[in-house]
Structure 1
Amino acid sequence: MRFVKKWGTLLVTVVTFVFFSIVNWDDSTNSSLFLTTDNVITILRSISIMAIIAIGLTYSLAVNGMDLAVGATANLADTFVMTMFVWYSMSIGASIALTILACLTVAVVNSILIVRLKIPDMIATLAVMFMYQGVALTYSNGGAITERMVRPDGIHAEGLVPAAFKTLGIEPNLVILMLVVVAFAFFFLNYTKYGRYMYAIGGNPEAAKLSGIPVNRYKILAYLMSAAFSAIGGICIAARVGTAQVSAGDAFLMPAVAAAFIGFSVGGAGKPNAFGTLIGAVLVGILENGLIMMAVPYYAMNIIKGLVLALALAMTYSIAKK
């Protein structure tokens, strides 16, 4: 029971992987279609961007916050970085730097609403999510950003997306970047004073304040980290697709939330953590890929995903209560 309590989510992930490997067995080749190299690469590619955005969310969860604007931030980054290339023909370094700076304004607005105006995190970030969805749509004039497009001002865009930038969105580069982001978050949250202070604030903000920790400052830092990593996720979307599609980043919000919250139960941590978030992203990715291969209707997929995700959490929290 202690093992299940601690590693129940990881166990569900393994069982889910084995299940899809069996049900997608191909008798003609005597092998599983789910276990092919191409399909495993597809799963890793699909979870990479989601995991990076979920890591951003993990920072806000560490201070007992909730950044619902991560999807909108990724969407803004996707749109902004593409316009830097296509509209203004800027270099890769300058485009990425300016994009991250633009996305940090999300954290600034979040911080004003949460820290200064004392609005609850979820409500404040929900409002900011709607605001920046509108900002991205307004900035792009409600359309996709593509090479050779006509800009909103009627000028023909002559900029091209650099080939070197596109390599960021392909494997193994995208997977390596995901692992680097996860490793950085794991080290930051567990082995630096900043991460330990964030966990202290998330556990008991009043006690943290009495012990001399500047609570507001670290809340702001958490939302800055959340926006920065969500921006990196959005940049990866642009590199992967090669265009900026309308609201492309918004689709990553709920999978990222699911991955981050599943991570609470991994290893019996009981708190947001980078390794758990990665496992949560893997579970969500396996579910989505396996259900697609089984030709499950799209309108029924969320039912099955929700049931399996609920089981993964229940195996930890229900046993913990006993």
Structure 2
Amino acid sequence: MAENVSVQKSKKNNMFSFSKYINKWGILLAIVLLVIFFAIMSPGIFLTWPNIINILRSISITTIIAIGLTLSITIDGLDLSVGSAATVSSSLIVSFFVWYNLHALIAIPLALLITSIIALINAFLIVKVKIPDLYATLATMFIFEGVAMTYTGGGSISSGMSRLDGTPTTGSLPTIFSRFGQTPWIIIIMIVIVLVVHFLLNHTKHGRYMYMIGGNPEAARLSGISVNKYKTAAYILSTLFAGIGGLVAASYIGSAQVNIGAGYLMPGVAAAFIGSSFAGNGKVNAFGTFFGALLVGILQNGLVMISVPYYSLNIVIGIVLALALASTYYKKD
């Protein structure tokens, strides 16, 4: 009898350990299994250096924008306006170069500064007006998408195109800006941003405060932490990185496109939440967001290689997101 109980406890402990291992390293295991699968299905193509670089380049903009989302989620929010921020910064930077012939050292900071208006409005609605984060940023998402479309006249902006009133333009994207979207710079920018935010969240008191606010804002307030200031800072940083993502997107494409940022919102959300299971954190983190974006990038790249229709990709990505969230939040009784 005692032996049976002991055996059952041992099995239960083994199951618990296995579940804990999957919960902690499941995302890396999934990446390894996907790489093996696609390498077998596309021999001599998938695991080539050019394709690896192509995957890293393809996830760079998503990762940068997702890092902004990560910062908003740390305080238990969700900044749905990051796509609009990317669109606004993309439209501004290209117009500054093409329409107004501004120097890069003036145009880049100015574009990010004006884009930060989104963060200030978000912070006002959330901190002062007390609108829940999701609803406030949903509203500003639509507002600033409309602002960007109105500013560009509902069309794209590129070198050689006339202004809205028909005035000819002579400006062009400077070489230094064009390099932002080229390899290896686009990948380097992504890696630097991931490392900076990882350091902020895990090795400074400010990061710990943000996690504390996300876990229990009232307890954080009673501990002397200025909850409103850190929420405001989180949304400013979220918008800043989304703005940088928009600049890199404009550089990569070579023009400003209508609603370019909208296409990065859902992959960014997926990357942040998939990555929350990384290393068993159970909370969003910079490295996890990167690996979440990498997982999505490998899926997209590999599925295209094995001729899965592009319109079916979101089905697979959605399933992976659901499984990742299940591995994070499911607790065995």
Category of TM-score, reference length = shorter chain? over 0.9
The CA deviation string for residues 283-319 of structure 1, in whole angstroms up to 9 with x for no partner, is 011111111111111222211222223223333433x
Q: What amino acid maps onto 1:196 in structure 2?
A: R
CA distance in 2, matches of 1:321, 1:208: 30
Structure 1 pair 312–21 and aligned structure 2 pair: CA distance change class (3 A): farther
CA distance in 2, matches of 1:299, 1:154: 37
- Cα displacement (A) at 1:20: 1.2
Counterpart of 2:46 in 1: which secondary structure? helix
Task: State whether residues 9 and 316 of structure 1, in contact with CA within 8 Å, keep that contact through their aligned partners in structure 2.
Answer: no
CA distance in 1, matches of 2:181, 2:301: 19
Is it true that 1:20 corresponds to 2:20 in the alignment?
no
- Cα displacement (A) at 1:218: 0.5
Task: Name the counterpart of 2:302.
Answer: 290
Is it true that 1:64 corresponds to 2:76 in the alignment?
yes
User: Which runs of at least 4 in structure 1 moved beyond 6 Å after TM superposition?
Assistant: none
With normalisation by structure 2, the TM-score equals 0.92
Matches within 5 A, 1:223-262: 223-262=235-274
Task: Name the counterpart of 2:108.
Answer: 96
Alignment equivalent of 1:51, drawn from 47, 63, 71? 63
Aligned Cα RMSD in Å?
1.1
Is it true that 1:77 corresponds to 2:89 in the alignment?
yes
Is it true that 1:193 corresponds to 2:205 in the alignment?
yes
Matches within 5 A, 1:271-282: 271-282=283-294
Matches within 5 A, 1:168-207: 168-207=180-219
The sequence identity of aligned pairs, in percent, is: 52
The CA deviation string for residues 103-162 of structure 1, in whole angstroms up to 9 with x for no partner, is 100101101111111111001100000000001000001110011111012211110111
Q: How many pairs are equivalent?
A: 315
Listed as ranges, the gaps of 5+ residues in structure 2 are: 1-17
Task: State whether residues 58 and 260 of structure 1, in contact with CA within 8 Å, keep that contact through their aligned partners in structure 2.
Answer: yes
Q: What amino acid maps onto 2:85 in structure 1?
A: T
Task: State whether residues 45 and 174 of structure 1, in contact with CA within 8 Å, keep that contact through their aligned partners in structure 2.
Answer: yes
CA distance in 1, matches of 2:255, 2:314: 27
- Cα displacement (A) at 1:10: 1.5
Comparing 210-219 and 308-317, the one that deviates more? 308-317
Task: State whether residues 148 and 159 of structure 1, in contact with CA within 8 Å, keep that contact through their aligned partners in structure 2.
Answer: yes
Task: State whether residues 69 and 128 of structure 1, in contact with CA within 8 Å, keep that contact through their aligned partners in structure 2.
Answer: yes
The CA deviation string for residues 236-264 of structure 1, in whole angstroms up to 9 with x for no partner, is 00111111111111100000000011111
Counterpart of 2:291 in 1: which secondary structure? helix
